Each structure stands twice: as C-alpha cells, then as structure tokens.
Structure 1
C-alpha cells in the first residue's frame, strides 16, 4: 500500500484530500502545514508520494519540492494548485513534480494522479 504525505496550509484541504486518499485505498502517513514541515516529514518517513500545495507560508511548495528532490531525486511529488497558478505549475513540473491536481479536488482525478504516479 502506497504511503502518502499530504502538504497544505489549510486544515480543511488536508482533511478533504486525506478522505479522498484513504477512500481510494492508500495510506496517509503524515500531514504538513507548510513546505518546511513537508521536508522534515519526508526525511523521517520517506513516503511513496507527496501531495504539495503551491502557496504556503514558511516555505512554498516549489521550494519544498526542490529540497525534497535534493534529498531524494526519485521522490514523487504531485502539486496541488488553485486555478490561475499555471505558471507555477509549469515551474514545478520542470523542477521534477510528477503531476498536478487542481482545487477544488475531483475525487476521480486525485485517484488517477496517485495511481499514475506510483505505478
């Protein structure tokens, strides 16, 4: 079973994503409220996949993506973005993100993105 780390500064978004992920049959091994926490939890738990919000305090998703890729070049990160963040999404993909999902989350799309990323 794939172990997933959820990163979002909004508790409601983390909960929404967690429910979708668990319902899809995956395990959530941690939740981070910002990029800095995500990097620390990645180092500790080495999840199979990270969902990463782009806009967060402390350290944004792009910076956290770069740090995680620095720790583990094979790390799989799916970016989560609101509409209108296309340029940041392109930046994230160029820096190694495997996919992106748009908020508000579509259950089917989230499940497909995770399955594609870990296969």
Structure 2
C-alpha cells in the first residue's frame, strides 16, 4: 500500500509505502500524479518516506515501480528519501545515475529539512 499527500499547493508529493507494494498501487498513484504534472509541467519534488518499506509483492510490482519511475522522473527536480536503513541510504547514490532529478538521503527524523531542501532548488 502506498499512502500519499501533497505539500505546498501540489508542488511536492510525499509518498509513504506502508505495506508490500502491488502493481495496481503504482497505477493508482500515477493517476493522481499525472494530472498535476500536466497542469504544472513538473513537480518541484518528491519526498519518499521509506521508513516502512516492505518490498514488492512480486516481480510485476517491481516492474510497475520501474515504469512509474521512468515516466515521472523527468518531471521532478528533486527527490528526498527518508530512511535510517543503511541499505536504503545508498539508494540515492544509485538513483542519481538513472533519474534526471537530484536525489538526496535524509535521516528519518529530518522530514522538515527534507521538505525545505525540496522547496529550494539550487
């Protein structure tokens, strides 16, 4: 399950994976995000709260995640990842090679700093 909310008049999307990820959830999330991108042309940022990531239900869910990322990353300026996981701490370094957006990790307790960073590019 992926919960989401918007910050700063739909400039920043916060997503919170709270259960094992399923393919339909990425389609549902895209249905919420795509109209905002069409209206504004881009998203200032995405805040991924990865504190409770449980992985993917199956390979199809992983593929859906990759498709969502491929379709959205060109319309994002920055991505902030909240996590205290050592493994997830390396995710931004890996993602920076594959996505157009600048990606940065933040400790789980620093959501306000992450939002501030997302709001002020440069």
Query: TM-score, normalised on structure 2?
Result: 0.52
Q: Does 1:38 align with 2:29?
A: yes
Match of 1:113 in 2: 117
* Shift in alpha-carbon separation, 1:68–1:53, aligned structure 2, 3 A: farther
Point out where structure 1 has 5 or more consecutive residues left out of the alignment. 12-33
Match of 1:66 in 2: 70
Greater radius of gyration (CA): 2
TM-fit CA distance, 1:78: 1.0
Query: TM-score, normalised on structure 1?
Result: 0.53
* Shift in alpha-carbon separation, 1:36–1:114, aligned structure 2, 3 A: same
Match of 1:5 among 2, 5, 13: 13
C-alpha RMSD of matched pairs (Å): 3.3
* Shift in alpha-carbon separation, 1:113–1:35, aligned structure 2, 3 A: farther
The count of corresponding residues between Structure 1 and Structure 2 is 93
TM-fit CA distance, 1:43: 0.8
Match of 2:94 in 1: 91
Higher share in strand: 2
